[in-house]
Amino acid sequence: MMASPQPRSPVMERTIYLQHYRVCLTSDGAPREISRDGAAITYEALDERTREQVDLKLIPLKSIDSGVREKLDEQARAAQMLRHVNIAKVYDFGREGGDFVCISEHLPGETLAAWVVAHGPMPADAALRVAEQIVSVLSSVNFHRLPYPPIQLSDIIVVPGQTPEGTWPLVKLINFGLPALRSGAGLGSEDSQTREQTSSAEQAARPEESAHGAKDIQSEIFLLGATLYFLLTGVALSSEALQRPPKLSKFPKPLRGMLGRMLHPDSNQRPRDLVVLAEMIRECLLKIERRRALADKYGIPYRTTMPRRTEVRRSPPSCCQSRLAKLYLALARQNRSAL
C-alpha cells in the first residue's frame, strides 16, 4: 500500500527489527509511516538480505487482549503459511521489546474506500470480481479452519495489475491474522475527530465469535453485500440496513436478487454456503458481461454504474470505513442477542 502523508513522527530509538528488517527514514531522520490502525503503526522497511521493500507493523502488546495475546504466535504462523493470491504475504513475525512485529508484503495501491472516493462507483462487473476474490479468501480460510477475517474497506487494497484470469481489478487483504486492538490513536492524515470516530468504531465492530471460535459466516456475507453495495454506489450502508434493506430497483437486474439475499435482515435467508455464493456471483457476472457485450454490439446504451450522490465526493475514505464499521457493530449485537 502506498504511503500517505502522516503527522511528523519522532526519531525511532531503533530501526532494525527481527535482525534483518530496517525501517526506512525520511531526510530528517523520521520513520516513513504508511498507516496507523489503532495503536498499531505500519512503516516502510527494507529486507537487508534481499533489498526488497516490505511493510513493518508494530503492535504494542499491551493493546492486545490477554486472551488473544496467548494465541498471537499461532495465528501469525498460520497466516504466514497460508498462500493465497488475494492475501498479502506474511514474511516474518516476532516479539521485540513491548511490541509484536509483523513483516508483510508491500502493496502499491489504495484501499477500496480511497479508490471509490477518488474514482467514483465501480462498474458492476469489476465490483463483482472484487466480491469473487473475497469469497475465494473466505473459502480458503474456511478450508484451513482459520478465523474469518473482518471484511473492512481499510483492509482491502486495489493493487496494480490483473487477476490470474487476466481481469481487473486485483485486490488483496492486508492485516490477515492480526489481532483487534483495544485502543488507538487514529488513521493517519484525517482530522483528529474523524480518526477517533473511525478507530473506535472499527475496534468495537469486530464480529462476535461463536462457541467454536469461528466468526459467523452469515454476518460475513452480509458485510460482503454491504461492501458490494458501497462499490456500486459510493454510499456506505448504515446499521439501519439490518432492519430496512436498501432499495435495489436501480441496480442491474442480475444483481438485485443476489444482493437482496446477501443483505436480507433475516440471517437465515442469506446464502449459507460459500460455494453456492461463489456460483451466484459467477452467474451474475456472466449475465452482466453478456448484456454489456450485446449493448456494445448494437450500440445500445448500457449503464454499468449506479448514479452517484454529489455529497459522496466530499466524503473522506475514513467516513465510509467508519459507517461500515458501525454496521459491523450492529451485526455483532444482533448475533449476540440471537444466542
| pLDDT tens column, 75-133 | 999 999 999 999 999 999 999 999 999 999 999 999 999 999 999 999 999 999 999 99
Determine, yes or no, domain membership for 85.
yes
Whether 279 maps to a domain, the answer reads yes
Q: What is the DSSP letter of 154?
A: G
| pLDDT-above-70 percentage for the chain | 75
| pLDDT value at residue 294 | 86
Nearest Cα residue to 33 out of 60, 14, 12: 12
Q: Which residue has the cell 513475525?
A: 93
Percentage of the chain exceeding pLDDT 90:
60
- Give the integer Cα–Cα distance in Å for 175 and 165: 25
Q: Same domain, yes or no, for 45 and 144?
A: no
**CA distance between the termini of the chain:** 39
Q: Is 31 helix (H, G, I), strand (E, B) or coil?
A: strand
Residue ranges making up the domain that contains 78: 16-105
User: b/e for 277-299, b at 16 or more Cβ within 10 A?
Assistant: bbebbeebbeebeebbeeeeeee
Q: Looking at the structure, do residues 71 and 115 belong to the same domain, yes or no?
A: no
Q: Compute how many other C-beta atoms are within 10 angstroms of the C-beta atom of residue 105.
A: 17
Where residue 325 falls among pLDDT bands split at 50, 70, 90? low
Residues 158 and 259 grouped into a single domain: yes
CB 3 within 8 A of CB 32: yes
Q: How high is the mean pLDDT of the chain? A: 83
Place of cell 473522506: 316
| CATH number of the domain encompassing residue 206 | 1.10.510.10
Position 10 in a domain: no
Query: 179 and 317 share a domain?
Result: yes
pLDDT score for 220: 94
| Judgement on whether residues 79 and 220 belong to the same structural domain of the protein | no
State the virtual CA torsion across 122, 276, 206, 80 in degrees, nearest 10: -90
What is the rounded CA–CA span in Å between residue 211 and residue 214?
8
CATH code at position 44: 3.30.200.20
- Domain identity same for 66 and 147: no
> In this predicted model, what pLDDT tens digit does every residue of 244-302 receive, in sequence order?
889 998 898 889 999 999 999 999 999 999 999 999 999 999 999 998 888 888 888 76
Residue 308 has pLDDT above 80, yes or no: no
- The answer to whether position 298 is within a domain reads yes
Q: Determine, yes or no, domain membership for 1.
A: no
**Residue that finishes a domain, picked among 47, 82, 105:** 105
Cis bond leading into 169, ω under 30°?
yes
C-alpha cell read off for 273: 454456503
148 and 32, same domain (yes or no): no
Given a cut of 60, is residue 202 above it in pLDDT? no
Indicate if the pLDDT at residue 336 is higher than 70: no
Cell of 126: 469489476
Among 64, 81, 105, the domain boundary falls at: 105
Mean pLDDT of 320-334: 67
The answer to the question of residue 9 being in a domain is: no
Q: Which residues, at least 6 apart from 204, have a Cβ–Cβ distance to it below 8 Å? A: 325, 329
The total number of structural domains in the chain stands at 2
Q: Are residues 158 and 70 in the same domain?
A: no
CA-based nearest residue to 332, from 178, 244, 208: 208
Whether residues 252 and 117 share a domain: the answer is yes
